[in-house]
Structure 1
Amino acid sequence: MIDFRYHLVSIVAVFLALTVGLVLGTTMLQDPLLNTMKSETADLRGQSEELRAERDDSELLNAGADQLTDAVAGDMLEDRLLDRGVVLVASPGADEDVLLALGGRVEEAGAEVVGQLLLEEAFLDVGSATFVDELALQVSTEPGDLSGNPYDKAGTELGRALAAKNGQTDDDGNEDDADGDTEADGAAGDEDGEGGLRHDASTVLSAFAEGGLLTIEDSPARSADTVIVLAPATAAPEDDGERANTALTSFTAALHEQVGPTVLVGGTETGRPGGLIAQARALDPAYATVDVAGRPTGDLVAVLALAEALSGSGSAYGIGEGVTGFLPTPLPGPVEPADPDAESDSGSEADAEADTAAEPGVEDEARRTVPRNGE
């Protein structure tokens, strides 16, 4: 039989073992353990100080780069976007300060910010997709030609409304001005010469604004030669991020197709996996992308990328995966100013040379001097 004395001895033995263990742990093992912990702590402290020093150096270098950018930006951007009309499109959640800075750089390049479209949260809301689709079809003069998702259609219609139409004529041969007015009536009409509806840019923009999908600043209707689309400052929630990014990339591609030179810009986070620009680059877009906007140097790169896009090329710039380089190389050159008298002068010269060619004895010489196909 196991009696009380047996239990008492067992309990005493357990406590004795614990006591011996504590004594050994606080004497024989104390010094080696503490020395190891102190050594590891010192190493971690040293690494932390090195990382902090590197961070401070990087911040100083970035600040110096920004100062250098501000000093040389005027020369680097001079006439790169000469006489172009630029529309700034801000995604929901875009940084207003970055948008303002981009506008300043655009003007340094000789362009004019003719207007802004500020997309509202409702534009990308999952519950608004059907409304966006229906509205694009309602304002379109050719709804049967619209295809793709709702943001393809919205981008197409808004792009048509923004695109500059200088020099185009209606069916009666009257030339449209930048506001969609004709020389014949001096006011915006909504019918063409055959009685059909004509694309009314201001009405299209107003329809999207009145629908609570965007806010319009200034007068961008029929004024855009180029477009800058600014990405959100913060990423959408993970469960909704891919859908929102898909909507914005579709929208930007449609704007590019209608207007022409376009650049999608954002901060460094947009170029990382899951970011808007990273997702856009995976589709190998025809428009340019820049993932370093938000600092003077990055804003300069964005405008240089837009200037390069004037030639029909568009590439990826910044520091994210898949970029061509940090900035365009070689840098795009200045745009030659338009000469309104050049066309008439060249026409007069061609007529004079053609008259000379009609004279006897100079026909062969005339063949060598009369311009062919505008050359």
Structure 2
Amino acid sequence: MIDFRYHLVSIVAVFLALSVGIVLGSTFLQDPAIYVANTAVEQVRQRNAGLQEQITDLQLRERGNDALISGQTRRLVQQELDGERVLIVELPGVTTSDREAVQEVLEDADAAVSGQVALTEKSLDPRQSGVIDQLAMTAKPAEMTFPVDATPYEKAAAVLAAAVVTSDSAQVGRENPAAAGVLGAFQEGALITMRGDPALRASLAVVLAPGEPFEGEHAEAQNAAVVALARGLDAADRGTVLTGPVASASPGGIVAALRDSSEAAAAVSTVDNGEQPTGRVTLVYALREQLSGGAGQYGIGAGASSVGPSPVPTSTPSSSSGG
């Protein structure tokens, strides 16, 4: 028979075996796993630290480049737009600082800013297309005709452009008698607000786009409205450039929408890093290129062909219509 002492010895042996197994398992099995995990964590930490150093280095370089270009902007652009009048068209979402920076670089280039026209949210709302169509038909100069397939926004762009820009050098700085009342009608319709005197027509136009894309079901139609506006201005003046922050060249952005339109991109230039000093200098060069009859897509975002025109345009402006 198995006595009590045997049972006791068996139980002790079982517990001893379990203890030895735990010790062996923690020593020979868990230690390698912990070592591998700790090594991986340390490698990730070192990689992240290295990437952070690279980011810091790039940020320092960018600030240095921005400071250099900012300090040399006047020298880089002076007289590039001498004798030209430029209209600034501002889309919803554009910051005051971006608008003021663009106006400053235009003045550094010796251009006169005729005024600013800011579009309202209502002006780009597709649900207002019927109102916009009716307003365009009512306010247009008597001799103006529209293509049979023109959209309400294409009609409105043509009517507005006739009131604020011209390709005729002799008419720059003068009001268009045939378009008298157009700006007032657009204001009364809560489609635009104005600063300065945009009725004294400009030879060039700059359209300022925000970085944030339009959102929702109407976003594509809103982008199409902006593209129509840019094309309408370019058809009536000596050159138009659409500019915005780098994000505006991302999918869904306004600059991206214009670049995706082959017809618009062939005529209207874009600059996608307009929030940077380099981009603002490029804006001046792009306007100069428009005066020479060219167009290009510039910046550092998707769809840009190069950082800026190369070589920098310096030819004598012609009296032909926009690029």
Q: Structure 2 length as normaliser, TM-score?
A: 0.84
2:56 match: 56
1:167 match: 170
Q: Residues 264 and 288 of structure 1 are in contact (CA less than 8 Å); yes or no, is this contact kept in structure 2?
A: yes
Deviations 1:238-291 (A, max 9, x none): 543322212111111111111230000011111123322122112122111110
1:167 maps to a residue whose letter is A
1:321 match: 302
Kindly indicate whether residue 175 of structure 2 is the aligned counterpart of residue 179 of structure 1: yes
1:283-302 correspondence to structure 2 within 5 Å:
283-284=261-262, 285=265, 286-302=267-283
Q: Residues 82 and 335 of structure 1 are in contact (CA less than 8 Å); yes or no, is this contact kept in structure 2?
A: no
1:1-375 correspondence to structure 2 within 5 Å:
23=22, 28-140=28-140, 141-142=142-143, 144-146=145-147, 147-164=149-166, 167=170, 178-180=174-176, 199-201=178-180, 203-237=181-215, 239-284=217-262, 285=265, 286-333=267-314
2: CA distance, partners of 1:77 / 1:332: 11
1:368 match: none
Shift in Å at residue 145 of structure 1?
2.4
Q: Residues 162 and 179 of structure 2 are in contact (CA less than 8 Å); yes or no, is this contact kept in structure 1?
A: no
Runs of 4+ in 1 over 3 A off after TM superposition: 22-29, 164-168
Q: Residues 163 and 182 of structure 2 are in contact (CA less than 8 Å); yes or no, is this contact kept in structure 1?
A: yes
2: CA distance, partners of 1:118 / 1:31: 67
Deviations 1:60-103 (A, max 9, x none): 11111112112322222111111111000011111221111010
Length, aligned pairs only: 294
2:105 maps to a residue whose letter is R
2:313 maps to a residue whose letter is P
2: CA distance, partners of 1:144 / 1:303: 33
1: CA distance, partners of 2:49 / 2:217: 38
Shift in Å at residue 200 of structure 1?
2.6
2:100 maps to a residue whose letter is L
Q: Residues 212 and 253 of structure 2 are in contact (CA less than 8 Å); yes or no, is this contact kept in structure 1?
A: no
1: CA distance, partners of 2:84 / 2:182: 22
Shift in Å at residue 177 of structure 1?
7.2
Q: Residues 114 and 200 of structure 2 are in contact (CA less than 8 Å); yes or no, is this contact kept in structure 1?
A: no
1: CA distance, partners of 2:259 / 2:62: 26
SS at match of 1:321: coil
Shift in Å at residue 166 of structure 1?
5.6
Deviations 1:192-247 (A, max 9, x none): xxxxxxx234x101111111111011111142100000112311225433222121
2: CA distance, partners of 1:121 / 1:239: 15
Q: Residues 146 and 155 of structure 2 are in contact (CA less than 8 Å); yes or no, is this contact kept in structure 1?
A: no
Q: Residues 228 and 264 of structure 1 are in contact (CA less than 8 Å); yes or no, is this contact kept in structure 2?
A: yes
1:196 match: none
SS at match of 1:145: coil
SS at match of 1:117: strand
2:87 maps to a residue whose letter is V
2:66 maps to a residue whose letter is D
Runs of 5+ consecutive residues of structure 2 not aligned to the other structure: 1-17, 318-323
The 1:221/1:30 distance shift into structure 2, 3 A limit, reads same
Identity of aligned residues (%): 32
Pick the structure with greater CA Rg: 1
Q: Residues 299 and 307 of structure 2 are in contact (CA less than 8 Å); yes or no, is this contact kept in structure 1?
A: yes
2: CA distance, partners of 1:270 / 1:227: 18
The 1:142/1:134 distance shift into structure 2, 3 A limit, reads farther
2: CA distance, partners of 1:240 / 1:179: 35
SS at match of 1:157: helix
Report the RMSD for the aligned CA atoms in angstroms.
2.5
The 1:40/1:163 distance shift into structure 2, 3 A limit, reads same
